[in-house]
Amino acid sequence: MSAPYLTLTTVVEHETEARRSRFICAVAPARTVEEAAAFIAGRRAEHAGATHNCTAYVIGERVQKGDDDGEPGGTAGTPMVQALVGRGFSDVVAVVTRYFGGTLLGAGGLVRAYGGAVTETLDRAEPVRMVPARLVHVAVAHDQAGRVENDLRASRHAVREVTYAGEVTFAVAVGLDEVAAFADWVATLTAGRARVTPGADLHVPA
């Protein structure tokens, strides 16, 4: 079973300093690698004159990647990834921009500076807790669709998609521990005429 995690809805930026080097961290939501890459490209363009633009992202449960961008291997991207994972975040991207201040920090100092920049920025964020859910497909006849749609949209479950074909099918995001109760509710609502089919796993805001 997938675990709950934290994510963001907006960009959070914070600046720290270590021995006169400036570290500007921006953390943003990213549901795909493509979204993460686009954010990284934007930050690198915005800070094209910086000494380094080091990056990290965590997407889903399996994708974790860090980039040292010229810093000694393992001193930037890896501690940034560890900071995100250690705080329980996923579907996020972080970019730490460094403007060199003239004093070398050493490997340990770099690890602390990059990891600390991310954790301090996360401390200023307002995360959203995401919990496991399932996409449930509810198929009904056209003569029931209007009333069923109104009731679904009035419920606390998010209607993700509506498909019109021989029947009308609603894709509804339902908390994993509520799927059985949701199916019973739909059966009562439609006098047993609906066809309820569990679909893909996903996460929804708690």
Residue 4 DSSP symbol: P
Amino acid of residue 191: A
CA pair distance 15, 25, nearest whole angstrom: 6
Question: Homologous superfamily of 5-126 in CATH?
Answer: Impact, N-terminal domain (3.30.230.30)
Is 5-126's fold the same as 129-205's? Answer: no
Give the pLDDT score at 1: 47
List the chain domain ranges: 5-126, 129-205
The yes/no answer on whether domain 129-205 falls in CATH 3.30.70.240 is yes
Q: How many CB atoms lie within 10 A of CB 145?
A: 18
Q: Can you tell me whether residue 45 is helix, strand or coil? A: helix
Amino acid of residue 94: A
* Contact call for residues 91 and 76 (beta carbons, < 8 A): no
Residues 6+ apart with CB under 8 A from 65: 55, 56, 57, 77, 81
Averaged pLDDT in 10-residue chunks for the chain of 206 residues: 87 94 96 97 95 96 92 94 96 97 89 96 95 95 95 94 96 93 96 94 88
pTM score, whole prediction: 0.80
Task: Find tokens 């915005």 and name the residue.
Answer: 46
* Contact call for residues 194 and 139 (beta carbons, < 8 A): yes
Q: Can you tell me whether residue 98 is helix, strand or coil? A: strand
Q: Phi, psi at residue 38, to the nearest 5°?
A: -65, -40
Give the pLDDT score at 104: 84
* Contact call for residues 63 and 33 (beta carbons, < 8 A): yes
CA pair distance 4, 127, nearest whole angstrom: 12
What are the pLDDT digits (tens) for 22-41?
A: 999 999 999 999 999 999 99
